[in-house]
Every structure is written in C-alpha cells, then in structure tokens.
C-alpha cells in the first residue's frame, strides 16, 4: 500500500530524480534519495509545510533538487528506476535515510550538522540529515 498518492507520470518523475541525483551510487543510493523525497511529501514541517505531492517536492523552489536544473534529469525514466521509485512510494525505507529530509555531497567528511539538522549517516558520497522528532513527527 502506498504511503503517498501518485500517478504513473509522477512515479516516472520520481524515478528520473532518483537517477539524476544518485545513479552513480547504485540502486541503494537511488533508494535513499527516494526515501528523502517521499519523506518530504509526508513531513508537513520545516521547509516542507506546503509540499503535498511528488511534483511539489521535486520542483520545490527554493530548497528543491539541483538535478532538476540539469539536462540529465529530463532523460526518459527506465523500467528499473521506476521499480525503485515504486518501492519508495510503497513505504520501503533504507538506512541511513529512513527519516531523512536532506542530503548533500560534501567534498570531505559529513559535517555533524547542516543547516541545524543532525547528520545520521553517509552512503558513499552523500550525507543524510534528520529533523528532530519533535520538529517533524510525520517522518518518524
């Protein structure tokens, strides 16, 4: 059962985002990006109070994803990427992004905090950051 509503077109958009942000980090890296995206839709807190759908999340401005500004984001979604996006939409969560609302790729080690949010882990080149449970209970 899906944790957020989506159309087939929106699933393809999420798949394209996951690929654009983390294709070089393999399937798990893409699933982690998908976790962050789905978490932002359900969060209703902090920077994501007005996010109600996958398109709202993907194209959020300011605060959205840099990949949407690049041509590679607009490549056609592949079936294998669509399957990964469906797993995220179905509610599968993966460590360290189970409750994360942010990620980024630093040039060195992950800072302990990023914009006031705590680092909860790293996967390959991406660092992931959780909100405090009291600030965003919907993602926990």
Would 90 be classed as within a structural domain?
Answer: yes
Place of tokens 């992950």: 110
Would 3 be classed as within a structural domain?
Answer: no
Would 15 be classed as within a structural domain?
Answer: yes
pLDDT tens-digit readout, 92-101: 999 999 999 9
Q: Which CATH number covers residue 76?
A: 1.10.10.2520
Distance CA 99, CA 107 (A): 24
Tell me the HSE value of 130 on the side-chain side, using a 13 A CA sphere: 15
Q: Is the pTM here over 0.85, yes or no?
A: yes
Task: Give me the tens of pLDDT residue by residue for the chain, a chain 140 residues long.
Answer: 799 999 999 999 999 999 999 999 999 999 999 999 999 999 999 999 999 999 999 999 887 898 998 888 999 999 999 999 999 999 999 999 999 999 999 999 999 999 889 999 999 999 999 999 999 999 99
- In degrees, to the nearest 5, what angle opens at C-alpha 75 toward C-alphas 139 and 85? 30
Our count of domains for the chain comes to 1
Q: Which domain, by its residues, includes 53?
A: 8-139
Q: What is the mean pLDDT of the chain?
A: 96
User: Which pLDDT score, from 0 to 100, does residue 64 have?
Assistant: 84
Would 53 be classed as within a structural domain?
Answer: yes
Would 24 be classed as within a structural domain?
Answer: yes
User: Which pLDDT score, from 0 to 100, does residue 7 have?
Assistant: 98
* 19 Cβ neighbours under 8 A, 6+ residues apart: 30, 75, 77, 78, 81
Would 2 be classed as within a structural domain?
Answer: no
């Amino acid at each position: 059962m899906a944790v957020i509503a989506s159309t087939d077109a929106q699933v393809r958009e999420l798949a394209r985002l996951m690929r654009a942000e983390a294709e070089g980090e393999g399937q798990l890296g893409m699933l982690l990006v998908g976790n962050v995206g789905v978490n932002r839709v359900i969060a209703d807190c902090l920077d994501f109070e007005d996010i109600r759908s996958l398109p709202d999340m993907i194209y959020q401005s300011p605060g959205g994803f840099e990949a949407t500004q690049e041509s590679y984001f607009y490549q056609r979604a592949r079936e294998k990427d669509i399957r990964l996006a469906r797993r995220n939409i179905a509610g599968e969560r993966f460590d360290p992004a189970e409750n994360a609302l942010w990620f980024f790729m630093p040039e060195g080690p992950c800072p302990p905090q990023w914009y006031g949010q705590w680092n909860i882990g790293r996967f390959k080149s991406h660092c992931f950051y959780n909100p405090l449970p009291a600030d965003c209970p919907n993602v926990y």
